[in-house]
Amino acid sequence: MPAIEHFIHGDGDRKQALVVIFLRGGADGLNMVAPLEDDGYYRARPRIAITKAKALALDGFYGLNPLLSHLQTPYNDGVLGIIHAAGSEDDSRSHFEAQDLMEHGGVVGGGWLGRFLRAQTAGTTGPLSAVALGKEVPECLRGAPAATVFASLDDFSLGANHARLMSSLARLYQAQPDDLGAAGHSTLDAVRRIESLRTASYRPSQGADYGNDEFSRGLLQIARLIKSRVGLEAASIDLNGWDSHFGQSTVMDPLMTRLGQGLGAFYRDMGREMDSTTVVVMTEFGRRVAENSAFGTDHGRGSVMFVMGGGIKGGRVFGQWPGLTRDVLEGPGDLPVVTNYRNILAAILQRHGSENIIDNVFPDFELHPLNLYA
C-alpha cells in the first residue's frame, strides 16, 4: 500500500513547489532590466530610458529599474537569475495569440504546466497539488490532474457541521480496508492541516513586508500553503495591465513596485523553503525598442524572464545580448527572442520533475534547456 502521505502530496511528496507569475499585457523587459551599456537603448528611448545614474547595478552591462530594488537582495544572494531577450516564436504581436501559445507550449492540447503535472503524477495526485490565485484556472494549468481556483481557505472547509462530519467520516474510512481507507485517512489529515491554517493568524517570517495589493496578498497565500505542507506542487498568479502604449511610466511604475515588493517579501518570508521552491516570471511578449510619441511603447517580441529559487546559478543575466542595431531588430524594430521560453521552463521542470518527461511537456520543439542551475 502506498504511504499515507502519498495521497496528500501526490507521488512521494517531492515537497517542491513551482510558482508561475504571468505578467499579462506584454511587459517591457527593457524598462525592467535595461542594457545600460548599449547606446542603441538610449538612442531609441530618448525620453523614457532609465538613466545609468538611477539604475541599480546588476553585472556592469545591465541595470535594474529602481522600482524593482527588492529584487537586488535575491539577485545578490545568487538565488535570482534574469534571462533577457526571452520569449516565444509567436510573432503575431497579439496578446491573445501570444499568451495562448505561451501557456499551451505550442499548438498542442492542454497547458504546459497541466501536462507536466499530469506526466509527473502517473499515479495519484493530491487535492491541493495545483492552485490558481484569481478568478479562473489559467490556460497553462489546463489538463492538470487537479486544479483549484483558490479564493480563500474557507473553500476547503466542510461546512457548519465540520467537526461532527469529520469524526463520522474518520470512523467509516478507518474501517475501510483498501487504498481508499488510506486515502481517506490522509485526506482527513489534509483537512485538519487546512483547518489549523484557517483558524490561525499568519505572520510572515523575518518581518517580510507584503503589500496590501491583490498580487502581494496572493503571494502571501502561496507562501503559507507551501510552508504548511498541504501538497502544493504548482501555483499560478497573474499580475495584469502591462500594455504600456501610452505613458510608459504611469502604466508600469505601480506594477513594477507591486512585482518587486511582492517577490521581495516572498523571498524573505520563505527563507530556507526557497531551496525547494522556484518562482518564474513571464510575459507574452516585450515591447518595441523605440518609444512612441505618447511616451509609451508598442507590442514587440523579446522581453525578460525572472527565475528565483533553489539551485539557480543566480546573480547573473542569462542569454546572449543580441544588440539593438538595425540589422538585429525584428520586424518593426523589436528586440529579437534569443532564448525560447520553453528552454527556461524545461530547465526548471527538470529540477522539479524527472529528466525524461520534458519532451512530452513540450512536444514538437527541439529543446535545449538553459543552463540555469549550478
Partner 1 sequence: MKLPRRSFLKVGAGGMAILATAGCGQMPRELRQLLALVNPPGGPFQAPITEAIDPIIHALNRAGFGARPGDYQRVRKLAKTPEAAAAAYLEQQLHPENIQDEDADYAARRFETLQEPLGELFEYQPDLLHNELMRATVSRAVLSERQLFEVMVQFWSDHFNIDPSKGDCKWLKVVDDREVIRKHALGKFADLLRASALSPAMLWYLDGRVNRRANPADRPNENYARELLELHTLGVHGGYTQKDVMEVARCLTGWTVRSVGNKPYFQIGKVEFDPAQHDFGSKIILGQTVPSTSPALAKDILEQRGRHELDRVLQIVVAHPATARHLSAKLCRHFIADNPPAGAVAKVAEAFSKSEGDISQTLRALFQTDEFLLTRGNKFKRPFTFVASALRASGAITDCGMDIVDYLKRMGHAPFNYPTPEGYPDQATPWMGTLLWRWNFAVALSQNSIKGTRTDLASLRGAAGGDEPLMAHLLGRKPSPEEARAFVDSGDGLALMLASPGFQFC
Residues at the site binding partner 1, with contacts judged by CB under 8 A: 7-8, 10, 104, 107-111, 114-115, 118, 121-129, 137, 139, 142-149, 155-156, 158-161, 164-165, 167-169, 171-173, 175-176, 179-181, 183-184, 187, 190-191, 360
Closest CA to 75 of 214, 297, 222, 260: 260
Least distance in angstroms from the C-beta of 240 to partner 1: 17
Nearer to partner 1, 66 or 123 (CB): 123
**Which three three-digit cell numbers place residue 85?**
531577450
Least distance in angstroms from the C-beta of 113 to partner 1: 11
Nearer to partner 1, 166 or 367 (CB): 166
Cα–Cα distances (Å) from 23 to 70, 263, 303, in that order, read 18, 13, 11
Closest CA to 214 of 3, 364, 18, 21: 21
Q: What DSSP assignment string belongs to 136-166?
A: S--GGGTT-SS-EEES-GGGGS--TTHHHHH
**Which three three-digit cell numbers place residue 186?**
490522509
223-253 burial code (b ≥16 CB/10 A, e <16): bbbbbbebbbbbbbbbbeebbbbeebeebbe
Nearer to partner 1, 151 or 200 (CB): 151
Nearer to partner 1, 159 or 207 (CB): 159
Least distance in angstroms from the C-beta of 51 to partner 1: 44
Closest CA to 111 of 135, 82, 145, 88: 145
Nearer to partner 1, 139 or 284 (CB): 139
Q: What is the largest CA-CA distance in the chain?
A: 74
State which amino acid sits at residue 5.
Answer: E
Structural contact between residues 214 and 207, judged by C-beta atoms closer than 8 angstroms: no
Least distance in angstroms from the C-beta of 281 to partner 1: 24
Structural contact between residues 286 and 87, judged by C-beta atoms closer than 8 angstroms: yes
Least distance in angstroms from the C-beta of 361 to partner 1: 10
Nearer to partner 1, 111 or 353 (CB): 111
Residue for cell digits 474501517? 175
Least distance in angstroms from the C-beta of 239 to partner 1: 22
- Residue 46, burial from CB neighbour count under 10 angstroms (0-12, 13-18, 19+): exposed
Nearer to partner 1, 57 or 165 (CB): 165
Structural contact between residues 278 and 352, judged by C-beta atoms closer than 8 angstroms: yes
Structural contact between residues 38 and 52, judged by C-beta atoms closer than 8 angstroms: no
C-alpha 274/C-alpha 264 separation (Å) is 12
Nearer to partner 1, 68 or 128 (CB): 128
Least distance in angstroms from the C-beta of 112 to partner 1: 10
Nearer to partner 1, 172 or 294 (CB): 172
